[in-house]
Amino acid sequence: RLQLLKDDQWIDVPPLKHSILINLGDQLEVITNGKYKSVMHRVLAQTDGTRMSIASFYNLGSDDVIYPTPALVDKEVEKPIAHPKFMFEDYMKVYPALKFEDKEPRFEAMKIMDSTISFGLVTIV
């Protein structure tokens, strides 16, 4: 049984016949500058029924930088960049300790590391 956390309540997600449900991760929330949100979710095992859950993860390279894509930053409403840029490896270092917490502390930890990310001759500020 899949559940999503909304307003501090676990809400059941009913299965839809012949469908695939995709949960977006924190990285896509950052890339879209918050336009698409990652959600806190859990799966409760059931002994009856035919629902199948398969977890598949796509991870970036450890030295890849994640940041809001300029083309997806909403310039019409002058929305400031809501998320920091960070190296995927840095994110994975803080994730295990914070994965069962709200996502905001993970993003805050990345903001601390955000002042300058340097790659040899190229610096992203």
Q: Is the pLDDT score of 21 beyond 90?
A: no
Distance CA 95, CA 99 (A): 5
pLDDT of residue 74: 64
The answer on pLDDT for 5 being more than 50 is yes
9 pLDDT band, cuts 50/70/90, is very high
| For range 94-100, the mean pLDDT | 83
Q: What domains does the chain contain, in order, with CATH numbers?
A: 2-124 (2.60.120.330)
Q: Give yes or no for residue 64 having a pLDDT over 70.
A: yes
* pLDDT of 78: 62
Kindly provide the b/e burial profile for residues 44-80, where b requires at least 16 CB atoms within 10 angstroms of the residue's own CB.
Answer: eeeeeeeeeeeeeeeeeeeeeebbbeeeebeeeeeee
Angle between helix 104-113 and 88-98 (nearest 10): 140
